[in-house]
């Protein structure tokens, strides 16, 4: 006698349950949705059968009426290896996932890039598989943003500042953070400060550069053309850029480098070591991200920590508010970064904070 083959019956429907309980489907539905208007005994009986049969109402059928998927799409433009190199995403993703779960939403992950990814995203939204979209690593001028707007898909961009009707954004004060860092360097007596930045098509990098310029200008200092560079979020780029700068004649050589990421800064550090330049004695150095590796380099990196948890949470809440069609919702938000001081630059921070 086969023991547990009773599990092989195909998916139960509400009608099966109704039949077993000797009631109509409508009554089972009312019990399922904890609606009033069902006799206590009947209700108990139906509940028991539901329990023992392990019945669950089909999500799709249930939501044909509601016309909502209670899912939101989280879209990454980067490939997996880029994600790997830029480690802010896991934390962001975790915060978004937790918030959505609390609000009863599900998270759909969309990776890949290019036209194919875009078509997929647009379709999923149009088909109603996702109710809204979160874009955490969009490049400047990515046409997906306009396409989403045209389709009226509720959308929130992270780390950019799109100004469109149906689109909201959440960012952190990249510019202010770098400005503070440069001011600290200026206070410590540095005048030859270079900014080795990430890619120019990241709005965040533009902001970081802007913060650098603001501080330099306020101090009445000119910025040498090769002291302001856009590149890639890679150690190789950091190495190259720093090496070429450090080989200049001493009066044109930077005494401080503000890097666009910790990985870039780590590359700069390697270059300095290779050229016998001591950090922080002969060159001070700062990063961005508060990447794990920032604590393992020698010296450990002074860096900027983005409020990733808060950004993720805020973006998720904002998007849900869009989806619900709430009227008085916040459509933009800038959250503060935090400067983390370590050995690569301790400068005048103490005095600033004191």
Partner DNA sequence: CTGAAAGCGCTTACAG
Q: Which is nearer to DNA, 31 or 207 (CB)?
A: 31
Contact call for residue 9 and DNA (CB under 7 A):
no
What is the distance in angstroms between the CA of the first residue and the CA of the last residue of the chain?
80
* Residue 29 vs 348, nearer CB to DNA: 29
8, 11, 116, 353: which one binds DNA (CB under 7 A): 11
Torsion of CA 296, 298, 304, 307, to 10 degrees: 10
Minimum Å gap between C-beta 71 and DNA is: 17
Instruction: Single out the residue of 43, 120, 253, 331 in contact with DNA (rule: CB under 7 A).
Output: 43
Half-sphere exposure of 328 (CA within 13 A, CB side): 0
Using the rule CB under 8 A, is 61 a contact of a copy of itself?
A: yes
**Which uninterrupted H or E stretch holds 335?**
strand 332-335
Q: Which of 138, 172, 174, 168 has the alpha carbon at shortest distance from 156?
A: 168
Q: What residues does 286 pair with on adjacent strands?
A: 258, 302
- Could you say whether residue 87 binds a copy of itself (CB under 8 A)? yes
Is residue 26 at the binding interface for DNA, with CB under 7 A as the rule?
Answer: yes
Cα distance between residue 156 and residue 171, in whole Å: 10
Q: Judged by CB under 8 A, does residue 151 bind a copy of itself?
A: yes
349: which 2 tokens? 């921070």
Report yes or no: 280 and 341 within 8 Å, Cβ to Cβ: no
Ramachandran region of residue 247, left (φ > 0), alpha (ψ -120 to 50) or beta? alpha
Which residue, 41 or 115, has its beta carbon nearer to DNA? 41
- Choice from 19, 20, 42, 187 touching DNA (CB under 7 A): 42
Total chain residues near a copy of itself (CB under 8 A): 61
Which residues within the stretch 242-301 sit at the binding site for a copy of itself (CB under 8 A)?
263, 266, 270, 291-293, 295-298
Question: Which residues are near a copy of itself by CB under 8 A?
Answer: 7, 11, 54, 56-64, 67, 69, 71, 74, 79-81, 83-85, 87, 89-91, 93-95, 97-98, 101, 106-112, 120, 123-124, 126-129, 150-152, 235, 263, 266, 270, 291-293, 295-298, 309
């Amino acid at each position: 006698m086969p023991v547990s083959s009773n599990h092989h019956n195909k998916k139960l429907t509400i009608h099966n349950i109704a039949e077993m309980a000797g009631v109509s489907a409508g009554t089972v539905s009312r019990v399922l949705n904890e609606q009033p208007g069902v006799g206590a005994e009947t209700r108990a009986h139906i509940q028991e059968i539901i329990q023992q049969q392990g019945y669950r109402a089909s999500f799709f059928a249930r939501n044909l009426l509601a016309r909502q998927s209670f899912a939101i799409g989280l879209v990454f433009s980067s490939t997996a290896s880029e994600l790997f190199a830029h480690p802010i995403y896991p934390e962001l993703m975790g915060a978004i996932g937790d918030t959505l779960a609390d609000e009863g939403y599900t998270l759909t992950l969309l990776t890949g890039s290019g036209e194919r990814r875009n078509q997929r995203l647009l379709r999923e939204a149009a088909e109603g598989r996702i109710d809204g979209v979160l874009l955490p690593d969009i490049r400047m001028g990515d046409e997906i943003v306009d396409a989403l707007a045209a389709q009226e898909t509720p959308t929130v961009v992270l780390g950019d500042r799109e100004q469109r009707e149906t689109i909201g954004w959440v960012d952190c004060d990249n510019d202010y953070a770098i400005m503070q860092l440069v001011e600290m360097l200026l206070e410590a007596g540095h005048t030859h400060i270079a900014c080795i930045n990430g890619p120019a098509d990241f709005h965040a990098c533009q902001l970081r550069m802007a913060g650098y310029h603001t501080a330099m200008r306020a101090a009445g200092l000119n910025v040498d053309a090769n002291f302001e560079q856009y590149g890639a979020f890679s150690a190789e780029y950091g190495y190259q850029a720093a090496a070429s700068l450090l080989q200049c004649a001493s009066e044109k050589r930077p005494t401080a480098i503000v890097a666009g990421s910790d990985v870039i800064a780590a590359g700069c550090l390697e270059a300095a070591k290779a050229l016998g330049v001591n950090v922080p004695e002969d060159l001070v150095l700062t990063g961005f991200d508060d990447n794990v590796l920032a604590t393992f380099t020698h010296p450990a990196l002074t860096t900027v920590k983005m409020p990733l948890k808060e950004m993720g949470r805020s973006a998720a809440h904002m998007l849900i508010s869009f989806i619900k069609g709430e009227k008085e919702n916040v459509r933009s938000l800038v959250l503060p970064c935090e400067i983390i001081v370590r050995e690569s630059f301790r400068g005048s921070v103490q005095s600033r904070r004191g």
